[in-house]
Amino acid sequence: MSSREEEDSGPIVVSMIDEEGISKLLECPVCYEIIYAPVLGCLSGHNICGICRQNLQECPICRKGYSGVRNLFAEQFLERCVVKCRYRGCGCREEVSGQDLTYHYTVCDYR
């Protein structure tokens, strides 16, 4: 493999330039927290966290029903992010990977 081929085979994304915008895309429209698995979508594709979905029959954005299909892209993207705990307003200062988020919420001292 040439050095040029080695350079081209690495990661394409170098950095995120709009972290606030990404955070908004990963925000649940019901609880306004970062969504975490399972991430479910309505028939129009709006995402909602699994806990909020349990209490709704229709999407709060477009009023369409839910497909029951998980958004694996959103889940896998979130696994690669570092996010602040949803209990930060209560005093938690933890920043955890999306992969560990569900576990952290079960053991967080501030829940």
Q: Quick: pLDDT tens for 96-111.
A: 888 888 899 899 999 8
At 14 the pLDDT is: 56
What single-letter DSSP state applies at residue 88? G
At 4 the pLDDT is: 53
Where are the strands (E) in the chain, listed by range?
39-42, 47-49, 66-70, 82-84, 95-97
Domain map of the chain by residue range? 17-107
At 5 the pLDDT is: 53
At 61 the pLDDT is: 94
pTM: 0.71
Stronger pLDDT, 93 or 10, i.e. the higher one: 93
| Structure-derived torsion over alpha carbons of residues 28, 32, 33, 36, reported in degrees to the nearest 10 | -10
Tokens of 14: 């170098």
Q: Is the pLDDT of residue 39 over 80?
A: yes
Q: Quick: pLDDT tens for 3-24.
A: 555 556 666 655 667 778 888 8
Stronger pLDDT, 36 or 69, i.e. the higher one: 69
Q: Which among 64, 57, 69, 60 is positioned nearest to 30, based on CA atoms?
A: 60
Give the domain 17-107 fold: Herpes Virus-1 (3.30.40)
At 49 the pLDDT is: 85
Determine the average pLDDT of the residues in 31-49. 88
